[in-house]
Chains A and B, each alone.
Chain A
Amino acid sequence: MVRTSVVLKNLGKIISIIGLAIFSAAVISLCFGEAIFERMMLASLITMGTGTVIILIFKNDLTINYREGFAVVTLGWLAASLFGTLPYLLSGYVPSFADALFETVSGFTTTGASIFADVEGLPRSLLYWRSLTQWLGGMGIMALFIAIIANIGARANQIFRAEVPGPVSDKISPRIRETAKILWITYLIMSAVLVVLLYVFGMDWFNSVCHTFTTMSTGGFSTRNSSLANFNPLIQWTIIIFMFLAGANFALHYLAFRKRSLKGYLLNSEFRLYSLLVIIASAIVFTGIGQYPGIEERIRQSAFQVVSIITTTGFVTADYNIWSPVSQVIILALMLVGGCAGSTAGNIKVSRYIILIEQAKAEIKQMVHPKSIWPVRYGNKPLNEALVINVLQFFFLYLMIVVTGVVVLSVFGLDLISSISASLSCMGNIGPGFNLVGPVQNYGHLPDISKYVLSGLMFIGRLEIYPVLVLFSPLFWKE
């Protein structure tokens, strides 16, 4: 049974948090003396007002049940995306709702695909808002909701897990609220470090903050039309390292900090494979980009693009559309990988691949010895069958949805490579694709219907399919 009042009450709280976030953008607007200050303020007041009214109307203090948990996660994200469009719409810089929705969903899901051809022409408060949506969506709106708002009850666990990327998530603390807080604080501290580093290496404060928001969340929005291409090598290396860290499990970062030891990284099989993939992919890409004269530049370009795509960030320093086929194929292949479980990255995730490979190994051994039993292990822990099936199913659904996306995009006029890469890129929360949606292009030229479809893909991809699909099941709404 799904009780509307319980779901709405919690949505009200989430909307209020979004309202506060828009308010911070309005403050920025005031600081820079922008003309759109009143409209930003209006957007913030509308959002906060709606949230408060809903909270006041539904005075119940009932705890969320299992099904309502899913509804709160998915509808909460939807509500955040809808109210997040207000700054774009009210400021007048994005007149079309399809464009505003695409941009907001791309922000919250940390995709980084944009409809803007010229971001440098936008007021600073809007640039800040774009980056902020990514930062909030990176560690998770629900995690923030759980960390800030108490007495959500036992369902907090389910809500948290529905949003945290990856098939297996570790609870750092026995209490899920404490876990959410720890992760957010880790995220906050790493962000603070990055802001300072970027400033020291030559960015101004405003750009440092915006790029930190979109690096730590593996989002990919930039304040420049050329993304990261025109910043100095030192800044680019810093961004490479922090994208890489943001694509790793934040629980590992926290534990490494707590224990003052890097051992945890080495013992983690997912982190090892993730690092190995980055190194191998960079090496192969390196062989295909002879056009860069300097050896340092060549290493930097390959590492930047590989890390940017595998962590699903989507920053660019080069137009890989003109790279040699081998380098392009690697980039395309990485669009199906993603970072680690418990990171801010999207996509299928390295841990799911580990489980798929282990399952395949067990299956083959089983074929040779029909009566033998082989456990599927992740790290050293044997996994139960339900989780393995869940991962297999996830992989199937993921590809099905991507293919559906490709078909729809091509029906509405996009060419093959652009359709495939756009669908992969949005489902994986990456950002840039190839050809017409390539690294120096944008999504503004697509028809509205395609933008809605891609927004849907980003949404489904960020919540890792199941919480969204559950809501489409008729069984879910029955008593």
Chain B
Amino acid sequence: MRSIVIGAGKMGFSIAKLLSNENHDVVLIDNNEERIRIIDDVLDVQVIAGTGSSWRVLESAGVRNADMVVAVTEIDELNMIACFLAKQYGVKTTIARVRDTEYVEQPHFSIANLLGIDLIINPEMVTAFEIFNIIKNPEAVNVDYYSDNKVLLAEFIIRNDSPIVNNQLKQLDASKFVILSIVHDNHMIVPSGDDIIRGGDHVYIITKTEDISAVLKSLGIIRKKIEHVTILGAGRTGYYLAKILENEMKNVSIKVIEKNPLRAREVSNMLSRSMVIKGDGADLDLLTAENIGQSDIYVAVTDDDKLNLLSSLIAKNIGVKKTIAKVKREDILPLMEEIGIDAVLSPRVLAAGYILKYIRQGDIVSVTVLGNENAEMIEFNAQSGSVVVNKQLMNIRFPAGSVVGAIVRNGEVYIPSGDFEILANDKVMVFALPASIHKIEKLFSSRLKKW
């Protein structure tokens, strides 16, 4: 596959690297020759200096034979025009980074459709939504949604006093959820009915989004009520998050702290019920005076990694229950969780993952990488003629280290039991440890195609 990436900034770099690793032939375009030269040394990609919205540059990058164009420069309009041109050259998939929501929210016609953009990505918006997902399910360590948010995958820590501790899994009422995995002492297993959950274990469960309250109850997890959220940094991410919270969580009081007085005023004009405070997130006096310690969740999303880190630690120290920080540097991501910040997000990684999800189309609908062991949540399309079709689950020989989590049929979600029968074109969501992924893929692809 030939892919063209326009814009060699941090995001362009991440995407080019990711695609190159996935065996794409990547051509990277940027008008900063210095930047291009550095990347040429680091990545196995072809680099071209020039503007991505120029037809000459696009043609010299081989746009006629390209399968995909990803435009992620800083400039929305350039990205859109580049995708528009690429579509005229017959490129199958076009992806543009567009950060101004005005372009996306056009109510009368879709700008993306008109310009032939297949996927519009707004990294700050993706980050804001990811944080919102965590806020919505504060008891979870990690949350992910599938199939239009109808299926929910979450990671929980089981407390010592939970009623399910020291019980065998087959004794649990598991009609509403499936336990995909148990992590005990940093070791991840896909459990069988005989396994036991102990206090302090992490569990991954999958369920219908609407059933989450019932599931939490049977797992002995107490729902925390979120009343106060504080957001540090009123940049795009902070603003989007406040806006989402204003619309989606009517009972939550929101405080936004912003250092730049002009931006603070601007944001206070755009938000309706959030309280915008002008001040420094590292200022302990301010955080105490504004009673930030009473917040249920503290979100640090300034552009400054160090400030996010420091401020989250201060917040934790004065009594905030859960802290979420945005960090741009990928290399320090694991470090952050170590020192007590509850969730750490990197917009670049999120956005790259988002794009990857989109381009890995075909039989595999979507994929998420979970935990340190690189287990994957894979969504398969059950092809007619494949081994699994028209069989009950208990009669299919799934490899060890894999489990079926949920099945989506005509938009309806099913949490399956052993006698559930898979039909052709069902979307089957399978959790698999790395060793078993290949065997699983074989189960779902058509036998006829193989020969």
- Residues of B near A369 (CB, < 8 A) are 275, 277, 290
**Does A375 sit at the interface, judged by CB under 8 A?**
yes
**Does A371 sit at the interface, judged by CB under 8 A?**
yes
- Residues of A near B289 (CB, < 8 A) are 371
**Does A382 sit at the interface, judged by CB under 8 A?**
yes
- Residues of B near A292 (CB, < 8 A) are none
**Does A373 sit at the interface, judged by CB under 8 A?**
yes
- Residues of A near B277 (CB, < 8 A) are 369, 371-373
**Does A257 sit at the interface, judged by CB under 8 A?**
no
Partner among B268, B278, B279, B286 whose Cβ is within 8 Å of the Cβ of A375: B268
- Residues of B near A374 (CB, < 8 A) are 268, 275-276
Q: What total count of A-B pairs have CB within 8 Å?
A: 28
- Give the Cβ gap from A69 to chain B, nearest Cβ, in Å: 30
**Does B264 sit at the interface, judged by CB under 8 A?**
yes
**Does B329 sit at the interface, judged by CB under 8 A?**
no
- Residues of B near A365 (CB, < 8 A) are 275
- Residues of B near A375 (CB, < 8 A) are 265, 268-269
Interface size on A, residues (CB 8 A): 8
Interface string of A339-377 (1 = CB under 8 A from B): 000000000000000000000000001000101111100
The answer to whether A382 touches B278 (Cβ under 8 A) is no
- Residues of B near A373 (CB, < 8 A) are 264-265, 268, 276-278
- Residues of A near B286 (CB, < 8 A) are 371
The answer to whether A371 touches B279 (Cβ under 8 A) is yes
Look across to chain B and name the residue whose beta carbon is closest to the beta carbon of A362.
B268
Query: For the complex, what is the distance from the CA of A373 to the CA of B269, rounded to whole Å?
Result: 9
Query: For the complex, what is the distance from the CA of A371 to the CA of B278, rounded to whole Å?
Result: 5
- Give the Cβ gap from A202 to chain B, nearest Cβ, in Å: 51
Look across to chain B and name the residue whose beta carbon is closest to the beta carbon of A365.
B275
The answer to whether A372 touches B269 (Cβ under 8 A) is no
Contact flag A382-B269 (CB < 8 Å), given A369-B290, A371-B286, A373-B264: yes
Contact residues of A between 127 and 146, Cβ < 8 Å to B:
none
Look across to chain B and name the residue whose beta carbon is closest to the beta carbon of A370.
B289
- Give the Cβ gap from A198 to chain B, nearest Cβ, in Å: 45
Interface string of B277-317 (1 = CB under 8 A from A): 11100000010011000000000000000000000000000
Look across to chain B and name the residue whose beta carbon is closest to the beta carbon of A385.
B265
Look across to chain A and name the residue whose beta carbon is closest to the beta carbon of B291.
A369
Contact residues of A between 359 and 405, Cβ < 8 Å to B:
365, 369, 371-375, 382
- Give the Cβ gap from B290 to chain A, nearest Cβ, in Å: 7
Look across to chain A and name the residue whose beta carbon is closest to the beta carbon of B269.
A382
Of the four ranges (under 10, 10 to 19, 20 to 34, 35 or more), the interface on chain B belongs to 10 to 19
Look across to chain B and name the residue whose beta carbon is closest to the beta carbon of A383.
B269
Look across to chain A and name the residue whose beta carbon is closest to the beta carbon of B270.
A382
Query: For the complex, what is the distance from the CA of A369 to the CA of B264, rounded to whole Å?
Result: 14
Query: For the complex, what is the distance from the CA of A297 to the CA of B332, rounded to whole Å?
Result: 80
**Interface core residue of B268, B269, B277, B290 (most chain A CB under 10 Å):** B269
The answer to whether B265 touches A372 (Cβ under 8 A) is no
Query: For the complex, what is the distance from the CA of A369 to the CA of B253, rounded to whole Å?
Result: 14
Query: For the complex, what is the distance from the CA of A375 to the CA of B278, rounded to whole Å?
Result: 13
**Interface core residue of B264, B268, B289 (most chain A CB under 10 Å):** B268
- Residues of B near A371 (CB, < 8 A) are 277-279, 286, 289-290
- Give the Cβ gap from B281 to chain A, nearest Cβ, in Å: 12
- Give the Cβ gap from B57 to chain A, nearest Cβ, in Å: 41
Query: For the complex, what is the distance from the CA of A262 to the CA of B286, rounded to whole Å?
Result: 48
- Give the Cβ gap from B436 to chain A, nearest Cβ, in Å: 54
Contact residues of A between 74 and 101, Cβ < 8 Å to B:
none
Query: For the complex, what is the distance from the CA of A375 to the CA of B265, rounded to whole Å?
Result: 7
- Give the Cβ gap from A16 to chain B, nearest Cβ, in Å: 47
- Residues of A near B265 (CB, < 8 A) are 373, 375
Query: For the complex, what is the distance from the CA of A374 to the CA of B275, rounded to whole Å?
Result: 7
Query: For the complex, what is the distance from the CA of A374 to the CA of B264, rounded to whole Å?
Result: 10
- Give the Cβ gap from B276 to chain A, nearest Cβ, in Å: 5
**Interface core residue of A365, A369, A373, A374 (most chain B CB under 10 Å):** A373
- Give the Cβ gap from A176 to chain B, nearest Cβ, in Å: 27
Query: For the complex, what is the distance from the CA of A372 to the CA of B255, rounded to whole Å?
Result: 9
Query: For the complex, what is the distance from the CA of A365 to the CA of B278, rounded to whole Å?
Result: 14
- Residues of A near B276 (CB, < 8 A) are 372-374
Interface string of B42-59 (1 = CB under 8 A from A): 000000000000000000
Query: For the complex, what is the distance from the CA of A375 to the CA of B268, rounded to whole Å?
Result: 6
Query: For the complex, what is the distance from the CA of A172 to the CA of B352, rounded to whole Å?
Result: 47
Query: For the complex, what is the distance from the CA of A374 to the CA of B268, rounded to whole Å?
Result: 6
- Residues of A near B264 (CB, < 8 A) are 373
- Give the Cβ gap from B230 to chain A, nearest Cβ, in Å: 12
Contact residues of B between 233 and 266, Cβ < 8 Å to A:
264-265
Query: For the complex, what is the distance from the CA of A382 to the CA of B268, rounded to whole Å?
Result: 9
- Give the Cβ gap from A387 to chain B, nearest Cβ, in Å: 13
- Give the Cβ gap from B49 to chain A, nearest Cβ, in Å: 44
**Interface core residue of A372, A374, A375 (most chain B CB under 10 Å):** A372
Look across to chain A and name the residue whose beta carbon is closest to the beta carbon of B264.
A373
- Give the Cβ gap from B346 to chain A, nearest Cβ, in Å: 30
Look across to chain B and name the residue whose beta carbon is closest to the beta carbon of A380.
B272
- Give the Cβ gap from B280 to chain A, nearest Cβ, in Å: 10
Query: For the complex, what is the distance from the CA of A150 to the CA of B264, rounded to whole Å?
Result: 45
- Give the Cβ gap from B106 to chain A, nearest Cβ, in Å: 20
- Give the Cβ gap from A385 to chain B, nearest Cβ, in Å: 9
- Give the Cβ gap from A46 to chain B, nearest Cβ, in Å: 55
Query: For the complex, what is the distance from the CA of A322 to the CA of B179, rounded to whole Å?
Result: 82
Query: For the complex, what is the distance from the CA of A369 to the CA of B268, rounded to whole Å?
Result: 14
Query: For the complex, what is the distance from the CA of A274 to the CA of B289, rounded to whole Å?
Result: 40
Instruction: State the 10 A-B residue pairs at the shortest beta-carbon distance, nearest first.
Output: A382-B269, A373-B268, A375-B269, A373-B276, A372-B277, A375-B268, A371-B277, A371-B279, A372-B275, A373-B264
26 A-B pairs with C-beta separation under 8 A:
A365-B275, A369-B275, A369-B277, A369-B290, A371-B278, A371-B279, A371-B286, A371-B289, A371-B290, A372-B275, A372-B276, A372-B277, A372-B278, A373-B264, A373-B265, A373-B268, A373-B277, A373-B278, A374-B268, A374-B275, A374-B276, A375-B265, A375-B268, A375-B269, A382-B268, A382-B269
In the complex, besides A373-B265, A375-B269, 15 extra interface pairs with C-beta distance below 8 angstroms are A365-B275, A369-B277, A369-B290, A371-B277, A371-B278, A371-B290, A372-B275, A373-B264, A373-B268, A373-B276, A373-B277, A373-B278, A374-B276, A375-B265, A375-B268
Q: Which residues of A does B touch, CB under 8 Å?
A: 365, 369, 371-375, 382
Q: Which residues of B does A touch, CB under 8 Å?
A: 264-265, 268-269, 275-279, 286, 289-290
